[in-house]
């Protein structure tokens, strides 16, 4: 976890209105590594569903994100930004996989065609 007492002076200096949020999870070591997934889709028809992200490093270590609880709507040439989190940090990503799901048991399966995608670490923005 985070030692909040170490941040107190910095956060309360000069009566700063700034707030700090520390992301934690329910699994050891309680850290959540957040990424912003920015997607532009190419499908002609709108798609509504959930995206799970899987990232792999050069050594073959893989982590999967938790699926968001809210569905996103994907329209042709429209950007969608999704906050996604991982229980483990991957420094040098060699591969990114996306799994698109509508979570429906009935009906046809749909593909989501990606025109452009950016995955940015919020914990380490220099990456």
29-80 residue pLDDT tens? 667 788 899 999 988 888 888 889 999 999 999 999 977 778 889 999 999 9
> Which CATH number applies to 4-121: 1.10.3720.10, 3.30.1120.10, 2.60.60.20, 3.30.43.10?
2.60.60.20
Please tell me the predicted confidence (pLDDT) of residue 9.
67
60's enclosing H/E stretch is none
| pTM over cut 0.95 | no
Please give the radius of gyration of the chain, using alpha carbons only, rounded to the nearest integer.
Answer: 18
Domain range annotation of the chain: 4-121
End-to-end, the C-alpha distance of the chain in Å comes to 23
Looking from the CA of 11 toward its CB, the CA atoms found within 13 Å total 10
Neighbours of 70 (CB within 10 A): 6
The Cα–Cα gap between 74 and 70 comes to 13
Q: Is the pLDDT of residue 117 over 90?
A: yes
């Amino acid at each position: 976890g985070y030692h909040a007492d170490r941040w107190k002076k910095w956060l309360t200096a000069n009566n700063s209105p700034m707030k700090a949020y520390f992301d934690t999870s329910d699994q050891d070591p309680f850290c959540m590594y957040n990424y912003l997934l920015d997607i532009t889709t190419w499908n002609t028809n709108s798609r509504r569903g959930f995206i799970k992200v899987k990232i792999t490093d050069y050594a073959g270590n893989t982590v999967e994100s938790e699926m968001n609880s809210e569905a996103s709507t994907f329209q042709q040439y429209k950007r969608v930004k999704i906050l996604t989190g991982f229980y483990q940090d991957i420094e040098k990503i060699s591969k990114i996989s996306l799994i698109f799901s509508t979570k429906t048991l009935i009906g046809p399966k749909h593909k989501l065609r990606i025109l452009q995608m950016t995955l940015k670490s919020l914990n380490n923005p220099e990456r």
